[in-house]
Amino acid sequence: MKKIIIDTDPGIDDAMAIHLAFAHPDLEVVGLTSIFGNVHVPIATRNALALAEMAGSDCPVAEGAETPLVQPQHPPGYFVHGDDGFGNSGVIEPKGGKDPRGAAQFIVDSINAHPGEITLCPIGPLTNIALALRLDPSIASKTAGVVVMGGAVETPGNVTEYAEANIWHDPHAAAEVFATDWPMTLIGLDVTEVVRCTPEDFDALEATSPRIGSFLNRAVQFYFEWHRTKPHYAHGPFEGCFMHDPSAVLAITNPEFFTFRETPIVVETDGERIGQTARASQGVPVKVALEVDAQAVRAAFLKFTSQADSQRG
Ligand code: RIB
Ligand code: CA
């Protein structure tokens, strides 16, 4: 079992990733930390608590930053994830409350309590991760790994032609995280826009996991609509959706599904290309996923998430 903390801005594909993680037999979700991005952070916290309770997990949920480190906050991605973050499928009010600690403190405490055992899986802007490193820089040497959904290295961005959303929302935090000497893996648009699921896939999920599968199938309809009608810099409209965040979770359990290149990455923090993640000649090497066995990732997502109802998170 690998211990993971998912830093998340739920978010429809975040919800898929979180239910995948709770259902996966090889993962122990130590906690969720919320961040702004797809929604404002109070909604992200509410949604993270709701997802944990839906999965039958009592793991802590710690609330993260409300705003980026330096730049003003960009408007949330409501046009992709809905006002409620779940594709306007309906607000789910959690019964429990958030952890008394903030996200950065929770991340630092967890890593110090389990040195060398915890993999961080940020699937939203990297503000909380940067703040945790500022709070206790020593966690860099005690973290088993950092597997980030974000960036676009050899493919265009999805918010601008240069920037992917998670980096664009806080490029200064991303720059600090990418400059840290720790075992970091980048699961960016280079691979996550190759991994796709279809409406039929989520219909099948609903059939095999009536409770959680039907929630995901309701939430994903809004996400399908966005993929049908909005052009992408690298891809035209299509029937289905990109599996951004679930791909990062499966990079932890099945790195063999991906082909990586070790390279330093520089993050642009101003100008027209702000939020760009480009290969650099100097700096800390990052394992960048450039190719993926997309069918293997899709099959693993469907296999484990189809068991979500019967697994305790
Ligand atoms: O660019 C895709 C990323 O931005 C995903 O994590 C999605 O949830 C949004 O946060
Ligand atoms: Ca996300």
> Does the beta carbon of 244 lie inside 6 Å of ligand 1?
yes
**pTM of model > 0.95:** yes
pLDDT in tens, the chain (313 residues): 999 999 999 999 999 999 999 999 999 999 999 999 999 999 999 999 999 999 999 999 999 999 999 999 999 989 999 999 999 999 999 999 999 999 999 999 999 999 999 999 999 999 999 999 999 999 999 999 999 999 999 999 999 999 999 999 999 999 999 999 999 999 999 999 999 999 999 999 999 999 999 999 999 999 999 999 876 778 889 999 999 999 999 999 999 999 999 999 999 999 999 999 999 999 999 999 999 999 999 999 999 999 999 876 5
Is residue 275 in contact with ligand 1, taking CB distance under 6 Å? Answer: no
Pick from 6, 7, 8, 9 the residue to mutate for probing ligand 1's pocket: most ligand atoms within 8 Å of its CB. Answer: 9
Who surrounds ion ligand 2 at CB < 5 A? 9, 11, 14, 123-124, 245
Burial bucket for residue 273 (CB in 10 Å: 0-12, 13-18, 19+) = middle
How far, in Å, from the CA of 235 to the mean position of ligand 2?
20
Sign (positive or negative) of CA dihedral 210, 53, 37, 287:
negative
Q: Known catalytic residue: 19?
A: no
